[in-house]
Amino acid sequence: MEILPKKMKKNRERFCNREREFVYKFKVGNQCLELRVPLRFPVQENASHLHGRLMLLHNLPCFIEKDLKEALSQFIQEESLRDYDRDAEASLEAVKAGEVDLHQLASTWAKAYAETTLEHARPEEPSWDEDFADVYHGLIHSPASETLLNLEHNYFVSISELIGERDVELKKLRERQGIEMEKVMQELGKSLTDQDVNSLAAQHFESQQVSEDLENKWSNELKQSTAIQKQEYQEWVIKLHQDLKNPNNSSLSEEIKVQPSQFRESVEANGRIYEEQRKLEESFTIHLGAQLKTMHNLRLLRADMLDFCKHKRNHRSGVKLHRLQTALSLYSTSLCGLVLLVDNRINSYSGIKRDFATVCQECTDFHFPRIEEQLEVVQQVVLYARTQRRSKLKESHDSGNRNGGSDDKTKNSDRNYLNILPGEFYITRHSNLSEIHVAFHLCVDDNVKSGNITARDPAIMGLRNILKVCCTHDITTISIPLLLVHDMSEEMTIPWCLRRAELVFKCVKGFMMEMASWDGGVSRTVQFLVPQSISEEMFYQLSNMLPQIFRVSSTLTLTSKH
């Protein structure tokens, strides 16, 4: 805050910007020595750094180090205070001499005080996302909850029908292209020349372009439809919240009245049927902990991981109950998550990533960004992290070369620099899935299919880090693929399954015991999932193994004889 006229500013600069000599006297044996150092005020350098430079530059004895540091700090502090006092005196003299406008001085002080004091700070702008979250949380815990769920279900049916139309049109196009190509291959070498084949190949390339254009057209239409649904839904929720505040609103009862006949309930849509396969399930209650034991719920299920994500077209009471529970806990301290095993590329183009993205697209997410937008953010974060890591590896590589080191590690990091590594994971948030709020996408490689992984394998350590995130972010239910695979293959024999299950059970048990130090001991539900193709016999073998590993000390009853 500048309140001095030009003349007084020049005086202040004359006082401050000048050298002052720091004098330090000390004895070495019978000799009296003196250190003189010119310092320019105000001193810009840290006193500790200046002290270290003086010790090194003048080769001073170590026994004066502490005393010299105290003397130097005291000298800088006293001289700086003198400068501040001179500056204050000059300012007061300027005010007394009438060289400063008192009104301007008062307004300057008031502005500075208001800007640096919290109670006078301007309130933060309200966030639309936070406001909508608060409003939704209130409505979902009110009699309007069923109306909200039915509206979401209607939107889901609408998007599902649109996806069904897209699939039918794309399927017809691909079938037509396949028939045309098959005819070409049959005539190859008979009546067609090489020129004819090249011409047909060009036509086939054009048809592929048509297919891509058709997919882009449907993708844009789905994106636009979900954006419209999201805006309509959020505006309707806000309006309903405002109407609930007005007790005199006569139309309110009709607005939240549920009429099942108005909502489309269908098991089948465009030839796509969601059938609930028979699930095998075993539940256990355990207590873990050294001194203070915590109760946890364990479940072993034979089910598809995506069954916890898919909405059911049949809006039965049981299905609606699952969806209601997920909605009630959306903004709570009891979130649900699952672990998806993915490759090292961050996209939604293949394998379970594609299936998961398809499920996410079937229902509009009214609270969080679309899955594609979230993956774009993850890619940017990974790109930044890899850039930082690569620069550090390059620095260590340069120093290693100077010392005769190898550069294999640097070459590997450069080659895989845009992908995530095994054991790393990224997180996506969802409000439009059936029973989960958070998805952990854990990167694994082909090594998980081998039978010789250990507790230090990246996939196992990734599970540990995921459980740690669950503790720090209120995720109390987590679903884990027990065998670290989503599908069975030939090499996964019964001994392989038993060894893998034992390893994962023991490691997760150890991680859960660590949780007590991470969150103080919170009761959690851990669901171990095995693929649908596993046999019932194998399932019950795993079921018998679980209580043996997570065994609880039994109580001992003592009786005394008189």
Q: pLDDT of 476-490, one tens digit each?
A: 999 999 999 999 988
pLDDT number for residue 13: 54
Return d(Cα 233, Cα 254) in angstroms, integer.
18
The pairing of beta strand 335-342 with beta strand 425-429: unpaired
The overall pTM is greater than 0.85: no
Confidence of residue 561 (pLDDT cuts 50, 70, 90): low
Return d(Cα 97, Cα 554) in angstroms, integer.
89
The average pLDDT across 528-551 equals: 91
* Residue 275 pLDDT > 50: no
Return d(Cα 95, Cα 69) in angstroms, integer.
39
pLDDT number for residue 254: 53
pLDDT number for residue 439: 96
Return d(Cα 463, Cα 478) in angstroms, integer.
11
The average pLDDT across 499-518 equals: 89
DSSP, collapsed to helix, strand or coil, labels residue 24 as strand
Return d(Cα 96, Cα 93) in angstroms, integer.
5
Cβ contact 316:260 at 8 Å: no
Three-state SS across 413-464?
HHHCCCCCCCCCEEEEECCCCCCCCEEEEEECCHHHHCCCCCCCCHHHHHHH
Return d(Cα 181, Cα 170) in angstroms, integer.
16
H helices present in 251-298, as ranges: 252-255
Strand partners, 23: 36
Quick: pLDDT tens for 440-479. Answer: 999 999 999 888 899 999 999 999 999 999 998 999 999 9
Mean pLDDT comparison of 181-195, 218-232, 411-425, highest-scoring range: 218-232
Quick: pLDDT tens for 140-185. Answer: 998 888 888 888 888 888 888 888 888 888 888 888 877 777 776 6
Cβ contact 238:223 at 8 Å: no
561 residue type, one letter: K
- Work out the mean pLDDT of the chain and round it to a whole number: 80
pLDDT number for residue 393: 77
436 residue type, one letter: I
* Least confident among 123-127, 139-143, 311-315, 416-420: 123-127
pLDDT number for residue 426: 95
DSSP, collapsed to helix, strand or coil, labels residue 70 as helix
Identify the DSSP state of 302.
E
* Residue 214 pLDDT > 50: yes
Percent of the chain with pLDDT over 90: 29
* Residue 268 pLDDT > 50: no
What lies within 8 Å, CB to CB, of 230 at 6+ separation is 364, 365, 366
